[in-house]
Amino acid sequence: MTNLATNFAGLKLKNPVTVGSGTYGFGSEYKRFYNPNILGAITSKGMTLNEKEGNPPGRSIETPSGMLNCVGLQNPGVEFFAKEHLPKLKEDGCTVFANVAGKDVDEYVEIVRFLDSTEVDAVEVNLSCPNVAEGGIAFGTDPKVVEEVTRKTVAVTSKPIIIKLTPNVADIVSIAQAAQNGGAHGISLINTLLGMSIDTKKRRPVLSNTFGGLSGPAIKPVALRMVYQVYPHIDIPIIGMGGIVNSQDALEFIMAGAQMVAVGTGNFVNPLACQEIIEGLEMYLEENDIEDINQLVGIAHK
């Protein structure tokens, strides 16, 4: 018998596979393909304190081996999530990571405090949003701010806090260490890379927000490099993501040091991607006579 079960930040999960926030809605959308409770965890769409409308149409475009999006955090607000979506996910037997974002530190704290009284299993704090107080620079680009947001959110909840980092920085290791210093229970690597596309017929940017986040296989080498770079320098577990579309990709992230993997754009490429990745990991263990998936975490460093 092989073991896919993993322990992530104190949570016992049936396997190390979750989904990238914002690519899986609130769990019900993919039910027509398989039961979402087969996943180690479901990571929700990013949520803010109040409902957010998001950006105007012109939110996505395919690029070579990837896609750009500028959804702009459209979401119904955290309270609506807790009332409408969370009970259904729990009824289905899902482990739920709630992804959250705030416009300032206080909003992050308030959302996490609110979620503490709900049934979510962990909170993934998205630090890729523009920080209004710092003049629009993303929270996740300054180690001091990362540590502050982490410390203040950890303080208001008993749930594990996972800090999700942006790759749009020069030194990812120092940012990851800042999250650990702030008391984070885990980190997610990576969010999308900033990019753009121009419509040559209209002679204008394609996306309504001009810039958007690049995701999919195009960013996999960058994401993998960051997981590999950060792994030896922190003691908290990593959720690796960025371009994972099959079990081969997932294995690379695990071997680079990811305790869990998340499938984002891969769900759009193949709605059965997560299911096939879980099966593929199992098969890899069997074929290679490995008992426990956890034996592979970080193995590429040895």
Partner 1 sequence: MLTGKVEKNQFLADDIFEMEIKYSNLSAKPGQFINVVCDGKLLPRPISVCQSKKESFVLVYKVVGEGTKWLSKRIKGSEIRFSPPLGRGFNLDIKNKKIAILGGGMGIAPILSVAQALDKADVFLGYNNDEFLHDKFPNKIYKSFASEGETVIDRFVNSKVGKSYDYVIACGPEGMLKALQQVCKEKNIPGQISIEQHMACGVGACLVCNCQTKHGYKLVCSDGPVFPIEEVVFND
Ligand X SMILES: Cc1cc2nc3c(=O)[nH]c(=O)nc-3n(C[C@H](O)[C@H](O)[C@H](O)COP(=O)(O)O)c2cc1C
Q: Residues comprising the binding site for substrate?
A: 45, 69-73, 126, 191-192
# binding residues, ligand X (CB under 6 A): 26
Q: Which partner from the list partner 1, ligand X, none does 171 bind, CB cut-off 5 to 8 Å by kind? A: none
Among 16, 20, 212, 257, binds ligand X (CB under 6 A): 20
Task: Restricting to residues 89-118, name those near ligand X by CB under 6 A.
Answer: 99
Going across the sheet that includes 60-63, the strands are 60-63, 66-69, 211-215, 193-196
Q: Which is nearer to ligand X, 280 or 302 (CB)?
A: 280
Residue 129 binding ligand X, by CB under 6 A? no
Q: How far is CA 50 from CA 56, 138, 292, in A?
A: 18, 20, 42
Residue nearest to ligand X (CB): 22
Residue 164 binding ligand X, by CB under 6 A? yes
Residues annotated in a binding site: 21, 45-46, 69-73, 99, 126, 164, 190-192, 216, 242-243, 264-265
Q: Segment contacting ligand X (CB under 6 A): 32-40, 146-154, 257-265, 278-286? A: 257-265
Binding stretches for partner 1 (CB under 8 A): 22-25, 29-30, 32, 45, 53-54, 56-57, 59-62, 65-67, 69, 71, 74, 216-217, 265, 267-272
Q: Which is nearer to ligand X, 15 or 23 (CB)?
A: 23
CB of 19 to partner 1, least distance (A): 9
- Active-site choice (86, 127, 129, 219): 129
Q: How far is CA 176 from CA 30, 87, 185, 187, in A?
A: 32, 33, 11, 7
Q: Which is nearer to ligand X, 3 or 65 (CB)?
A: 65
For every residue of 207-249, DSSP letters joined together read STTSEEEEESGGGHHHHHHHHHHHGGG-SS-EEEESS--SHHH
> Does 129 participate in catalysis according to the annotation?
yes
Residue 264 binding ligand X, by CB under 6 A? yes
Residue 212 binding ligand X, by CB under 6 A? no
CB of 134 to ligand X, least distance (A): 19
Residue 16 binding ligand X, by CB under 6 A? no
CB of 7 to ligand X, least distance (A): 22
Residue 18 binding ligand X, by CB under 6 A? no
**Nearest of 165, 19, 47, 161 to residue 111 by alpha carbon:** 47
CB of 222 to ligand X, least distance (A): 10
Interaction site with ligand X (CB under 6 A): 20-23, 45-46, 69, 71, 73, 99, 126, 164, 191-192, 213, 215-216, 219, 241-244, 263-266
List active site positions. 129
